[in-house]
Amino acid sequence: MRWYWIDRFLEFERGRRCVAVKNVTLAEEYLHAHFPGYPVMPNALVIEGVAQAGGLLVADQRGYQGNMILAKVPKAVFHFDPRPGDTLRYECTLESLRGEGAVVQATVRCGDQEQGEVEIFFANAAHGPRARQLFTDLDLVTMMHYLGAYQVGRDADGGPLRPPDHLQDRLSTLWLGTAEP
Amino acid sequence: MPDKQEIFQKVQEILCEALSVDEDEVTPEARLTADLGAESIDFLDIVFRLEKAFDIKIPRGELFPDTLLQDERFVKDGKITPEGMEELRRRMPFADLSPLEDNPDVKNLQDVFTVDMICKFIEQKVAVEN
């Protein structure tokens, strides 16, 4: 199993907002232990999904440089537990962004119901004395590609969202390619 | 322009949200770390919230001068040097530096960060920007 807690981007507006979906399926191993006979997706994994969608929104706006990592969850309110068969919709907005950190707010919807509200605070791990490289720009762009961000995304001017030019060749060699506008 | 009471109320609200503390804990003399349990990551969260609430820009190091501590001229053997104290007075006219004047140990810097210090910083900041 791979640590992907969103399945696809439906919308992606550089530097502003994104909408990602997560399909909950009984094929996922953890549901059989959480709980035996009553499978529900832990809301901690909803937070992880929001952090992945919001984290890519932040990373894209920063040109895939730096290492913004989930540092704090100032707010997480949930109204019910997601169950197999549910499609969760993570609607994320980039509230603040600067070199040292970023804030993303998200509303989680399941059908026509609001499932939760989450606020994620990201800190730049590349800052300060304990600086670390956690992801390469290629890692982040690859995730964006898998999740369809370049198929639905728009850049700041409303044009199609594209990975940085210097990564296009490397992506091609990985047989990933990118969607044509 | 907000008055002192309005600034205090907003700061109180921000600290309650950022640090998950009760309103009655956020007194003017409360220290962010020792009394309200703030950790390093919370300081940046607080700066973001202050910027939004008061519609101001707070450049890195202006409210909490973390970069100063990495400068060898200002910190030696875990203590803030006289030059460092001078720099702090210059950069933080809104702060009561007496905990450091009594003992310039670097770890005492966190006792300077109080609720009142944030309020005074905001008062000066909004006065300049308006």
Minimum CA–CA partner of A123 in chain B = B41
The structural domains of chain A, ordered by start, are 8-173 (3.10.129.10)
The three-state secondary structure class of B129 is helix
What is the reported pLDDT for B118?
Answer: 98
Q: Using one digit for the tens of pLDDT, what is the confidence trace for A88-133?
A: 999 999 999 998 899 999 999 999 999 999 999 999 887 666 666 7
Interface contact A99-B60, CB threshold 8 A? yes
Type of residue numbered B1: M
Compute the nearest-CA separation of B70 from chain A (Å). Answer: 9
What is the reported pLDDT for B1?
Answer: 81
On whether any CB of chain A is under 8 Å from the CB of B76, the answer is no
| B3-35 exposure pattern, b = at least 16 Cβ within 10 A, e = fewer | eeeebbebbbebbbebbebeeeebeeebbbbeb
Enumerate residue ranges in chain A where pLDDT < 50: 177-181
Compute the nearest-CA separation of A90 from chain B (Å). Answer: 22
Opening angle at CA A141, ends A135 and A147, nearest 5: 115
Mean pLDDT of chain B, nearest integer:
93
What is the reported pLDDT for A181?
Answer: 40
Tokens of A135: 């992801």
Contact A4, A52 (CB under 8 A): yes
Compute the nearest-CA separation of B49 from chain A (Å). Answer: 9
Average pLDDT, integer, range B105-126? 95
The structural domains of chain B, ordered by start, are 1-58+113-130 (1.10.1200.10), 65-112 (no CATH)
Q: Which residues in chain B touch residue A100, judged by CB atoms under 8 angstroms apart? A: 44, 60
Q: Using one digit for the tens of pLDDT, what is the confidence trace for B65-99?
A: 877 888 889 999 999 999 999 999 999 999 999 99
Catalytically active residues of A are 34
What is the reported pLDDT for B74?
Answer: 93
What is the reported pLDDT for A115?
Answer: 98
Tokens 């962004």 appear where? Answer: A97
User: Which one of A68, A70, A121, A130 makes the best mutation probe of the B interface by having the most chain B beta carbons within 10 Å?
Assistant: A121
How many Å apart are CA A147 and CA A153, to the nearest integer?
Answer: 11
What is the reported pLDDT for A169?
Answer: 74
What is the reported pLDDT for B97?
Answer: 95
Contact A74, B45 (CB under 8 A): yes
Identify which of B47, B64, B68, B57 has the alpha carbon closest to the alpha carbon of residue A123.
Answer: B47
| A45-84 exposure pattern, b = at least 16 Cβ within 10 A, e = fewer | bbbbbbbbbbbbbbbbbbebebbbbbbbebebeeeebbee
